[in-house]
Amino acid sequence: MAFLAMQSNFAGDSLMRRGVGFLIAAAALMAMVGNASADETDTRTFMDFNFKMSGGASTIPRTTVNFAGNYAPGTIIVNTAERRLYLVQPNGQALRYGIGVGRDGFRWGGTHRITAKKEWPSWTPPAQMLARRPDLPRHMKGGIDNPLGARAMYLGSTLYRIHGSNEPETIGQAVSSGCFRMTNEDVTDLYNRVSVGTTVVVKN
């Protein structure tokens, strides 16, 4: 009887050891899966081109607001004092975007039309800019490092554009030489909503 009891205790201990071993193995496997999932997420974020090209999000969210004014839907209103761009919508509303505007001495006003639209535009600094900044490249192909960003809309016969930027921290500031910069995400949204010929009213 004592022998049988010893066998029973041994079997119970063995089963307990196996159970504990199984639990430890299961926990280790779950940890490995968890780590693999985290690594996969990090890799996707690092490798995602759209994540990289966006240049981050603006601290000024795009939003729909009430808008008073005698402007036809589809008109773009740039308010340099507010550092906001409005795309007029029907029923007294507008889409409002945060923008970067010209620094002191480079702000301007007037009414123009969009005469061209380009995706991932190249950049050729004008002579006036090169005179101030001879260190600038004479030409830069379009891409994520280009200061014009993902999209550009050209304003009449002026040198100015509404364009993207990979420096979202500058949105809401007076930093440019007269152009209006937006995040790549916002400028792409605006680009898809307007066409060549759209009226742009710049209020300084």
CA atoms within 13 A on the CB side of 86: 25
Of 76, 179, 187, 200, catalytic: 179
Cα→Cα distances 197→111, 154, 175, 192, Å = 12, 10, 27, 14
Q: What is the dihedral of CA 121, 97, 186, 198, to 10 degrees?
A: -50
Q: Compute the distance between CA of residue 80 and CA of residue 101 in angstroms, rounded to an integer.
A: 6
Of 83, 96, 161, 163, catalytic: 163
Helix (H, G, I), strand (E, B) or coil at 152: strand
| C-beta separation of 118 from 124 below 8 A | no
Does 179 qualify as catalytic in the annotation? yes
Active site residues: 163, 179
